[in-house]
Amino acid sequence: MSRVYAVGTADTKGGELAYLAERISAAGATPVVVDVGTRQATIPVDISAKDVAAFAPDGADAVLGTDDRGRAVAAMGEAFAGFIQSRDDVAGLIGIGGGGGTSIVTAGMRVLPIGVPKMMVSTLASGDVSPYVDVSDIAMMYSVTDIAGLNRISRKVLSNAAFAIAGMARAEAPQVESKPALALTMFGVTTPCVTQAAERLQDTYDCLVFHATGTGGRAMEKLVDSGMLVGVIDATTTEICDLLFEGVLSAGPDRLGAIARTNVPYVGSVGALDMVNFGAFDTVPEKFRGRNLYRHNPQVTLMRTTVEENRQMGAWIAARLNRCSGPVRFLMPEGGVSAIDAPGQPFHDPEADAALFETLEADLETTDNRRLERLPYHINDPQFSAALADNLRAIAA
């Protein structure tokens, strides 16, 4: 039976929630109506707000016993996350809401495993949804009108959403041969490197490639923390540039944290550490306008990292890898760290690359289990890709 959890604040959006449940039934799935409101529900529900609030870390009173709406919404979000994790029959989860409801429901969606269908019908879905989606696979649907009564628009939108989540809940992905999962990180300027490595490993591993755009690195490390991966080829650590030097694609200060926490077999490199990412050229901070800037496309401007910045990155990476107890292999391509860091290319700077390599060699505490190696290749050379793949096989066997 496909049980679809339909979640909303039944005190303010009871009619819409009831209609959503009706349409889920019409689509052939079984709705479970969950109230995450903080006042009296206006419709019958299957799971009451009190039942959900009981999962709050500070107890139900922290959710339902306060007149502070901000605190109540935050506490209900925590409670709903705890509640939904306790269920073992979630075939799909759909929520409706404005600002408060979206915050509450997506807090629960984000803790569900990747692959469990998740859809949020929200008044906020046409804007920046990154705080709600984060690195989960949440589908956001814009409600068009406010979720404040049923009308010709809201009925159609909610009906579409109901049939979409029911279809997702009832469908199963095609079965394929099960292989252990391996993560690889890639950027446009390291695509040949990672593609070649994946091709060498795909007979043995299910190769999951993550785009190193901030969310990609965080998604990869979330899967590492979940125990879903048997190894990582972190060829493209460029997100560290943006973390340290004000770029727009940072994965945050916990980059490499999951590697240390889990001791997952790790093969790393310095892919695209020659560049900090900004948006269109006119978004580059004024203080950087005199730097070596490259217009990758009309929406993306890259800034070449300096000798001193490479020293800082080398120290930062070494400090984090020194916390790793699992097998670590870190490979450095002496011929260049990206497609535009090669002789004749705009970011070719052997002195900056040398500062990076030398700092890593000086600061990384090498052991039998943690090794560092220079290779006389460009990062996109087939020989370098082969070395990444061979090192992974050696430590993940």
In the CATH scheme, what is the homologous superfamily, with its name and number, of domain 3-170?
Answer: Uncharacterised protein family UPF0261, NN domain (3.40.50.12020)
Residue 176 pLDDT > 90, yes or no?
A: no
Whether 3-170 shares its CATH topology with 181-396 is answered yes
- How large is the average pLDDT for residues 136-146? 95
Question: 31 phi and psi, to 5 degrees?
Answer: -80, 145
pLDDT value at residue 313: 98
Residue pLDDT, tens place only, 60-106: 888 887 778 888 899 999 999 999 999 999 999 999 999 999 999 99
pLDDT value at residue 8: 96
Residue pLDDT, tens place only, 254-290: 999 999 999 999 999 999 999 999 999 999 999 999 9
Contacts for 13 with CB less than 8 Å, ≥ 6 apart: 37, 96, 97, 101, 147, 148
Can you read off the two tokens belonging to residue 289? 């306008």
Distance separating alpha carbons of residues 178 and 44, to the nearest angstrom: 43
pLDDT value at residue 160: 98
Q: If you ran DSSP here, which 8-state letter would residue 138 be given?
A: P
Residue pLDDT, tens place only, 158-173: 999 999 999 999 988 7
Distance separating alpha carbons of residues 284 and 288, to the nearest angstrom: 7
Distance separating alpha carbons of residues 258 and 251, to the nearest angstrom: 12
pLDDT value at residue 67: 77
What stretches of 30-176 adopt beta strand conformation (E)?
30-35, 92-97, 118-122, 139-142
pLDDT value at residue 71: 86
Residue 362 pLDDT > 80, yes or no?
A: yes
- How large is the average pLDDT for residues 290-314? 96
pLDDT value at residue 65: 79
Q: Which residues pair with 217 in a beta bridge?
A: none
Q: Which residues pair with 186 in a beta bridge?
A: 211
Q: Report the percent of the chain where pLDDT is more than 90.
A: 89
Its pTM stands at: 0.84
pLDDT value at residue 212: 96
Name the amino acid, one letter, at 332.
M
Neighbours of 82 (CB within 10 A): 18
- Domains of the chain, residue spans: 3-170, 181-396
Residue 292 pLDDT > 70, yes or no?
A: yes
- How large is the average pLDDT for residues 316-326? 97
Mean model confidence pLDDT for the chain: 95
Can you read off the two tokens belonging to residue 102? 């979206």
Q: Report the percent of the chain where pLDDT is more than 70.
A: 99
pLDDT value at residue 178: 83
pLDDT value at residue 168: 95
Residue with tokens 């006042």: 39
- Candidates 184, 190, 275; CA nearest to 230 is 184
**By the 8 A CB rule, do 104 and 82 touch?**
no
Which architecture characterizes domain 181-396 according to CATH?
3-Layer(aba) Sandwich (3.40)
Distance separating alpha carbons of residues 58 and 75, to the nearest angstrom: 8
Give DSSP secondary structure letters for 261-290.
HH---EEE--TTTTEEEESSGGGS-GGGTT
Residue 38 pLDDT > 90, yes or no?
A: no
- How large is the average pLDDT for residues 148-167? 95
- Candidates 5, 16, 8; CA nearest to 155 is 16
224 by Cβ neighbours in 10 Å (0-12 / 13-18 / 19+) ranks as buried
- pLDDT band with cut points at 50, 70 and 90 for residue 1: low
Contacts for 243 with CB less than 8 Å, ≥ 6 apart: 250, 251, 252, 253, 255
Contacts for 138 with CB less than 8 Å, ≥ 6 apart: 106, 109, 110, 118, 119, 120, 132
Residue 175 pLDDT > 80, yes or no?
A: no
Residue pLDDT, tens place only, 194-214: 999 999 999 999 999 999 999
Distance separating alpha carbons of residues 149 and 14, to the nearest angstrom: 9
pLDDT value at residue 18: 97
Give DSSP secondary structure letters for 216-227.
HHHHHHHHHHHT
Radius of gyration of the chain (CA): 24
- pLDDT band with cut points at 50, 70 and 90 for residue 58: confident
